[in-house]
Amino acid sequence: MLAKRFNVEETGAKLVYERLHENYNIAPTQTEPTIIGNGKDRAIELMRWGFVAPWMKDLKDTFKYSSFNARSEDIFNKPMWKLAIRQTRCLVPANGFYEWLNTPSGKQPFYIKPRDQEIFSFAGLYGFWKDAEGMEWPNYSIITTHANKEMLDVHHRMPVIVHPGDETRWLDSEIDTPEDLLNIMQPYPDGHLEIIKVSREVNSSRNDGPTLIKPLRSERN
């Protein structure tokens, strides 16, 4: 399904499919599929969520530097991101994502998805980092921007969701000017997100399964 949706050569994708499983509660440091490459070189690559800059000494530094997400507003100036945003961009496939609202009774999760895309992609950055033993760790980060109208009810920021028509441009490393890339890194249009109140079982990454995205009786639309 991913190969067809993102125009990836099916034969090469089969090796990745053998290592994939459905995950309804993806957490930082877990390994998930990303889309990299231009044109015929486009491929699915399994990567660890948490960008590891070349100068980092340990995978745990992803927590120290909070490199699971990159802010679009300063992405061209921060040493962490300024090369990757121009040279190594990826798409991160998804069906939806979670965000949490702080309430008097604790954090309430919401499952959020586009109304107009069943499988969509986040704008991401990636790298290949080698540890002291020489083992290579493909890794990525998801870019965030300010919230659209619906998201403001839950959180002031949201991940950048790439429009299908912009996906080829996003992966094209020859497109590297701030003007061109900032046009892609925009909030999703107002009125195009479905926001669903879900179980607090999501709050533990040990929990998984389709029941996590099942709407509760009280739902935000």
Convert the pLDDT of each residue in 123-143 to its tens digit.
999 999 999 899 999 999 999
Confidence at 219, pLDDT banded by 50, 70, 90: very low
DSSP E strands in 75-200: the ranges are 89-94, 97-103, 106-114, 120-130, 136-146, 157-159, 161-162, 193-197
Contact assessment for residue 131 and residue 150, using Cβ atoms and an 8 Å cutoff:
no
Contact 141, 51 (CB under 8 A): yes
Q: In whole angstroms, what is the distance from residue 42 CA to residue 28 CA?
A: 24
Q: pLDDT > 90: what percent of the chain?
A: 86
pTM of the model as a whole = 0.93
Cα distances (angstroms) measured from residue 58 to each of 51, 65, 102, 137: 11, 11, 32, 11
Domain residue spans in the chain?
2-97+119-189
For the domain 2-97+119-189, what is the CATH code? 3.90.1680.10
Q: What mean pLDDT comes out for the span 143-154?
A: 97
Instruction: Report the share of the chain in percent with pLDDT over 70.
Output: 93
